[in-house]
């Protein structure tokens, strides 16, 4: 029955195909140049036809693509979880107001040029992609700069809910004030993220009871980089620190990407990167706000273009927050000390001890702390010149610094002593110095105690 159906379908498709061929031949006779264009446009890259488009956009990647939906209880044999520690980035947010003003004012101009290019037969964007682009309008409110969006709220709520399920004998409901510490930076997006996580973990009924510590200013635990003069001067405000990214932007790979986008969109003079970046920005925020919806602006880019743009950000953040400069991670010892000291107290049976400590912060903090822990370190540095070699790099911000990214550490009491497991994006990960994901506390301690006890941020950050 279904075979017959398939046969009929196939025949139908063939007939249509032949008919379409005849038709295009007819119009070929009528207007040679027009058909040539149509033919070219038919062969074109058509984003609308891609069922699972590329969704890795560096730090603006949706958490959806990194989450772990398996929330089975975690029970290493002979162990009970004793303490849970979390450092999380906020969820998906709006762009800055400055960026939104640009998106709202400049993007419509680019949009209408692309459409008129297409109408004039220039470029190779397919008809459906043009149709999608024609319908686009900037919807967000420019005054809501950097606010957590609905999807971001869902991301954090889901993480809280799933971790509660995994550690249900430790992170028990209802919420008990003395058992938990919640803290976030002084921004709406981390505040709202902390509340979303708490709601996922303790439920709607309990959320009103959850106590959130007053964020400190300056925030030396969760925004240590903002008070680290040495880092601010030598890295953040120093364009030489970004030489690898700059060289990559000047490389043949990058320049030919710009050329091919220019041609694809039918422009006669080469687009500048600021225009391309604006289209990219809209594409990635669209996909962060509505991960499963098509973004007309993503149609501008081929998968390879997106990988090139992704590499550009990986390079930037490697030198801004990662292994590129020692000051990036040397200043990040306080969060490490926080969890180390906290676990040590439990191991030494010093009470009182909270069951859970939850901190909500930003990309710059998370990446520096992950680097301080020695995570995602490649055998060689990420450079403008070694993209091919680094194809399978650990340092991929799409995977380690998406919205909702987090590092969680759990202390277990087992029949033969204490153990620690680290989780990134809800999956266990082996820490340096450990033989397994479930790591002996003595190994954990040998690796990290020296970093905790020598932590002197003021000294480290002195110029
Ligand atoms: C909850 O605990 C915090 C200290 O972590 C304290 O400041 C606060 O007053 C407590 N709230 C209630 C309702 O007991
Ligand atoms: C955090 O958000 C809550 C709820 O929206 C608000 O009442 C509170 O003032 C905010 N806290 C800070 C420190 O902004
Ligand atoms: C990029 O090109 C546009 C015109 O397409 C122009 O308005 C804009 O100023 C240029 N930006 C830079 C940074 O050169
Ligand atoms: C760890 O568990 C053992 C039983 O397996 C118990 O005797 C011990 O007191 C626990 N240690 C701590 C620090 O809770």
pLDDT tens digit string along 318-377? 999 999 999 999 999 999 999 999 999 999 999 899 999 999 999 999 999 999 999 999
Predicted pLDDT of residue 44: 60
Q: Is the dihedral of CA 386, 388, 393, 398 positive or negative?
A: positive
| Residue 140: CATH number of its domain | 3.40.50.1240
- Nearest listed ligand to the Cα of residue 345: 4
Q: Name the domain boundary from 32, 49, 66.
A: 49
pLDDT beyond 60 at 36: no
Give, using CA atoms, the residue closest to atom 7 of ligand 4: 415
Count the neighbouring beta carbons within 10 Å of the beta carbon of residue 77: 7
**pLDDT per residue as tens digits for the range 116-163:** 999 999 999 999 999 999 999 999 999 999 999 999 999 999 999 999
Query: Three-state SS for 32?
Result: helix
Residue 18's domain comprises 2-49
Average pLDDT, rounded, for the chain: 92
pLDDT computed for residue 20 by the predictor: 42
Ligand 3 pocket (Cβ < 6 Å) reads 272, 274-275
Q: Tokens 């390079």 correspond to what residue? A: 315
Q: Looking at the structure, tell me whether residues 16 and 132 fall in a common domain.
A: no
* Same domain flag for 245 and 200: yes
Model pLDDT, residue 215: 85
Given a cut of 70, whether residue 199 has pLDDT beyond it is yes
- Same domain? 305 vs 355: yes
Q: Please identify, by atom number, the ligand 3 atom nearest to the C-alpha of residue 275.
A: 1
| Distance (Å, whole) CA 286 – CA 47 | 15
- 103 and 33 share a domain? no
Contacts of 429 (CB under 8 A, 6+ apart): 375, 422, 423, 437
Each residue of 71-103: pLDDT tens digit? 999 989 999 999 999 999 999 999 999 999 999
Residues 158 and 282 in one domain: yes
Domains held by the chain: number: 2
**What average pLDDT does the segment 424-434 reach?**
98
- In the reported structure, the alpha carbon of residue 456 is separated from the centroid of ligand 4 by a whole-number distance in angstroms of 33
Shared domain check, 132 and 40: no
- Considering the chain, what percentage of its residues have pLDDT values greater than 70? 90
Q: Say whether both 26 and 65 belong to one domain.
A: no
Among protein residues, the one whose CA lies closest to atom 10 of ligand 2: 191
> Is the minimum distance from the CB of 351 to ligand 1 under 6 angstroms?
no
Q: Are residues 11 and 127 in the same domain?
A: no
Q: Indicate the SS3 state at residue 93.
A: strand
Q: Are residues 34 and 72 in the same domain?
A: no
Question: Closest Cα partner for 339 from 463, 422, 263, 265?
Answer: 422
Same domain, 16 and 118: no
Q: Buried (b) or exposed (e) across 271-304, using 16+ Cβ within 10 A?
A: bebebbebbbbbbbbbbbbebeebbbbbbbbbee
State which of 191, 192, 196, 360 you would mutate to test the pocket of ligand 2, scoring each by most atoms of that ligand within 8 A of its C-beta.
191
CA of 450 to the centre of ligand 4 (A): 26
- Indicate if 275 and 420 belong to the same structural domain: yes
Intra-chain end-to-end CA distance of the chain, in Å = 78
| pLDDT over 90 at 24, yes or no | no
Confidence of residue 270 (pLDDT cuts 50, 70, 90): very high
pLDDT at residue 26 is higher than 60: no
Burial of 48 (0-12, 13-18, 19+ CB in 10 A): middle
pTM over 0.75: yes
Ligand with minimal distance to 193 CA: 2
pLDDT value at 9 more than 50 = no
Query: How confident is the model at residue 6, as a pLDDT?
Result: 53
DSSP string over 385-423: T-TTTTTT-S--HHHHSSTT-EEEEEEEEETTEEEEEEE
Give the mean model confidence (pLDDT) for residues 55-72.
Answer: 98
Residues flanking ligand 2, CB < 6 Å: 191, 215
Taking CA atoms only, the protein residue closest to ligand 2 atom 7 is 191
The Cα 222–Cα 184 span in angstroms is 8
Residue 65 CB coordination number (10 Å) = 15
Look up tokens 């550490």; give the residue.
409
**Residues 226 and 261 both lie in one domain:** yes
Residue nearest ligand 2's atom 13 by CA: 186
Residues facing residue 424 across a β-bridge: 407, 427
Query: What are the φ and ψ backbone dihedral angles of 87, each rounded to 5 degrees?
Result: -125, 115
Choose which residue among 413, 415, 416, 417 to substitute to test ligand 4 binding: the one with the highest number of ligand atoms within 8 A of its C-beta: 413
Is 4 in a helix, a strand, or coil? Answer: helix
Strand (E) or helix (H) holding 427: strand 427-429
Bridge partners of 197, per DSSP, are none
Supply the pLDDT for residue 150: 98
Provide the pLDDT confidence category of residue 41 given band limits of 50, 70 and 90. very low
Q: Which ligand neighbours the alpha carbon of 418 most closely?
A: 4
Residue 196 has pLDDT above 70, yes or no: yes
């Amino acid at each position: 029955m279904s075979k017959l159906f398939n046969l009929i379908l196939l025949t139908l498709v063939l007939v249509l195909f032949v008919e379409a061929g005849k038709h295009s031949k007819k119009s070929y006779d009528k207007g040679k140049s027009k058909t040539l264009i149509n033919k070219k446009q038919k062969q074109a890259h058509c984003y609308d036809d891609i069922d699972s488009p590329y969704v890795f956009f560096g730090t603006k990647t949706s958490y959806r693509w990194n989450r772990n939906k398996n929330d089975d209880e975690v029970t290493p044999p002979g162990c009970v979880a004793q303490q849970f520690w979390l450092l999380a980035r906020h969820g998906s947010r709006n762009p800055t107001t400055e960026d939104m003003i640009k998106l709202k004012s400049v993007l419509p101009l680019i949009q209408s040029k692309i459409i008129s290019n297409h109408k004039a037969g220039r470029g190779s964007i397919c008809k459906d992609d043009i149709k999608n682009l024609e319908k686009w309008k900037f919807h967000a409110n420019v005054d809501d700069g950097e606010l957590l969006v609905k999807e971001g709220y869902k991301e954090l709520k889901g993480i809280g809910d799933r971790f509660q399920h995994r550690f249900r004998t430790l992170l028990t409901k209802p919420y008990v004030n003395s058992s938990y510490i919640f803290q976030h930076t002084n921004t709406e997006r981390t505040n709202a993220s902390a509340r979303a996580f708490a709601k996922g973990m303790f439920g709607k009924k309990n959320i009103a009871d959850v106590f959130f510590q007053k964020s400190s200013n300056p925030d030396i635990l969760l925004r240590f980089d903002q008070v680290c003069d040495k880092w601010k001067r030598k890295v953040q405000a120093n364009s030489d620190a970004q030489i690898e990214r700059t060289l990559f932007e000047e490389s043949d790979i990058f320049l030919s990407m710009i050329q091919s986008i220019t041609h694809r969109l039918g422009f006669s003079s080469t687009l500048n990167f600021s225009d391309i970046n604006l289209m990219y920005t809209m594409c990635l925020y669209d996909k962060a706000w509505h991960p499963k919806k098509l973004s007309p602006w993503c149609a501008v880019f081929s998968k390879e273009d997106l990988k090139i743009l992704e590499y550009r950000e990986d390079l930037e953040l490697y030198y801004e927050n990662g292994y590129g400069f020692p000051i990036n991670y040397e200043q990040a010892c306080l969060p490490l000390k926080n969890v180390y000291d906290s676990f040590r107290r439990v191991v030494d049976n010093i009470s009182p001890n909270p069951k859970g400590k939850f901190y909500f912060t930003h990309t710059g903090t998370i990446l520096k702390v992950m680097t301080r822990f020695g995570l995602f370190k490649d055998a060689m540095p990420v450079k403008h010149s070694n993209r091919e070699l680094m194809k399978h790099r650990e340092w991929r911000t799409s995977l380690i610094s998406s919205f909702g990214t987090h590092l969680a550490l759990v202390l277990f009491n087992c029949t033969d002593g204490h153990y620690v497991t680290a989780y990134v994006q809800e999956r266990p990960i082996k820490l340096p110095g450990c033989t397994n994901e479930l790591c002996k506390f003595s190994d954990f301690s040998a690796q990290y105690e020296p970093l905790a006890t020598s932590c002197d941020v003021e000294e480290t950050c002195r110029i």
